[in-house]
Structure 1
């Protein structure tokens, strides 16, 4: 009896929510635009109470969409860093040197006349992968252990370096290139403050949730019972935030549909180039397929929730930077699904000894052995 090959039905292994994420985002955009037209003063009402510089209703959405994904991170896996130094050094190089530089170059290449969108892409390039990448890694049959450690590592590095690199790539480097950055007035502290609020708070909450509940109920209960219920609510936080954002700036979006296309093009190029570079560098360094896939997807994936939160906190909810952040997950889902197919195809071509690997039938279910048709 034959079973499905690795490259078939990848989309079916996604949950219904993840499979149609772009549809939900488009629907949230449409609802937000409709609310904005029906209630023209909604923006001023939302700004009545603020958390720092962000409307409190929107700030709550930003915090909530970050919390579930950070509760998934296995922070305890960081202890294994000592045993795989070469692997994790490569990941840090890809995530914190290659990724930001590539996105910066693409932003300036494709959007030289649109600095606000360009800044939004830079913020995306600096927001490295977190929990969503575990889905792509699992579908591509990468190493769950390696991916878990890399996600935890990047979460810590984002706290330490996001504000420094944000200030560097938004103000210092453009200044060296002769660009006029005076209008942006972006300080390192303004970025750091948004990171501390919208990444630091949910990261601490997520870590405390994992530690507390695993001690009380056990790791198996936390992974198999609690997270499947908590995880999907992150999408609700994202969609809620998008509805409010588009209610406040929907009129501008309907007037500038081509801007969304222009933002999408460098994002698509980024995903493909980043994945391909990481994949072939990892193979050149002698990593096996499972390690190579994990490195490649964690290098190509981004934390759009953080990019949106920082863009809103620093530049405002109706800014072009915030719009660029919202376009990000629209492009990421179909692009990363395509890269899962590419990864499985490359596995058969470049790692023939890995073709009998154990594959998940669906996320969260038991494995089955892949056999040829």
Structure 2
């Protein structure tokens, strides 16, 4: 890990402060950037996400995807946490904290909307940012790509019914344009671009040339992450300054949900004797959220200025700092994890996979 990566938490904190300050001082600039969108998908953010995930995608050999069935335990655990546990645990946390414990401190006419926003947020598993978290935990890239693709496929079928069930609505308006465009921008385009570049580099210079390229552009990924953070906090700088107490209270169930679901996925992978390079991204995929889809769905259902939309925006604000803390926990606990993931762990399982 480079010196820059070792101090990533500091850079994140500085970017959060810078984003809020710039959003307050230059709201017009951020408003213009925020309007550069199609179907509620912000194009500058999409471009930054490309810069974040393409270095990891360059490492992926699609011919090796045929081996992803080896990781069926991790795939099953992640699907279980994402679609069976996560939306329902968030609904329970929302009703407990927002509907009961924090109710006296929140606008009474927005309580139901806040809970709805939290449910919508939890029902949309993360897509693009997972590649960044997986890379930071030295996760298996083929597993990450396959899991994300599978989640996208399930999301098309399960998002509306789950949200409808938990909100008690007979019909949910799914922003299909946002969902389709997000998958294309965050998955299809960068995957195709990365594979084209990978093939050309391998043909001209071999593995050594590819390794040099990845090492050169790797810092770009982290710079793009920090720039994204400045933009996200800049977009919501006014909201943060106007309603800091409401935002802090809404953040509580979201943070608890992230640690609960990531911890559950991590421990289940350990009990299933899955490798750490699978358990890391599995835990992170099981905890993070597809905030673009969540915000768009909240706006379409409840309106731009609703409590539901604000709740999904809070998810955007805390996504990067909280997920970085989960990355830190996963990396620091690798020794503990591998001591308990028996009988196939570490070199033994790698040898078994090689065979």
How far, CA to CA, are the matches of 2:126 and 2:62 in structure 1? 23
Alignment correspondent of 1:104: 87
Alignment correspondent of 2:173: 185
Partner-residue secondary structure (3-state), 2:174: coil
CA contact (8 A) 1:61 1:238 kept: yes
Unmatched segments (≥5 aa) in structure 1: 1-13, 139-146, 284-290, 358-373
TM-score computed with the length of structure 2 as normaliser: 0.75
Determine if the alignment matches structure 1 residue 238 to structure 2 residue 225.
yes
Aligned residues: 318
Determine if the alignment matches structure 1 residue 196 to structure 2 residue 205.
no
Unmatched segments (≥5 aa) in structure 2: 99-113, 349-355
How far, CA to CA, are the matches of 1:51 and 1:102 in structure 2? 32
TM-score computed with the length of structure 1 as normaliser: 0.72
Alignment correspondent of 1:271: 262
Shift of 1:73: 2.8
Partner-residue secondary structure (3-state), 1:123: coil
Determine if the alignment matches structure 1 residue 219 to structure 2 residue 220.
no
RMSD, matched Cα:
3.4
Shift of 1:128: 8.9
Shift of 1:313: 6.2
How far, CA to CA, are the matches of 1:156 and 1:265 in structure 2? 26
How far, CA to CA, are the matches of 2:8 and 2:237 in structure 1? 20
Q: Deviations over 1:79-116 (max 9, x none)?
A: 334xxx4x332232122233332221222122234332
Alignment correspondent of 1:366: none
Alignment correspondent of 2:51: 64
How far, CA to CA, are the matches of 1:338 and 1:244 in structure 2? 26
Choose 336-345 or 103-112, whichever is displaced more.
336-345
Check 1:102–1:197 CA distance in 2 against 1; reply closer, same or farther (3 A cut): same
Q: 2:156 aligns with which of 160, 164, 167?
A: 164
Alignment correspondent of 2:147: 154
Alignment correspondent of 2:119: 118
How far, CA to CA, are the matches of 1:39 and 1:205 in structure 2? 34
Alignment correspondent of 1:143: none
CA contact (8 A) 1:315 1:321 kept: yes
Q: 1:95 aligns with which of 75, 78, 83?
A: 78
Check 1:313–1:278 CA distance in 2 against 1; reply closer, same or farther (3 A cut): same
Quick check: which one's helix share is greater? 2
How far, CA to CA, are the matches of 1:66 and 1:101 in structure 2? 28
Partner-residue secondary structure (3-state), 1:217: helix
Q: 1:75 aligns with which of 49, 62, 77?
A: 62
How far, CA to CA, are the matches of 2:298 and 2:56 in structure 1? 24
Check 1:181–1:74 CA distance in 2 against 1; reply closer, same or farther (3 A cut): farther
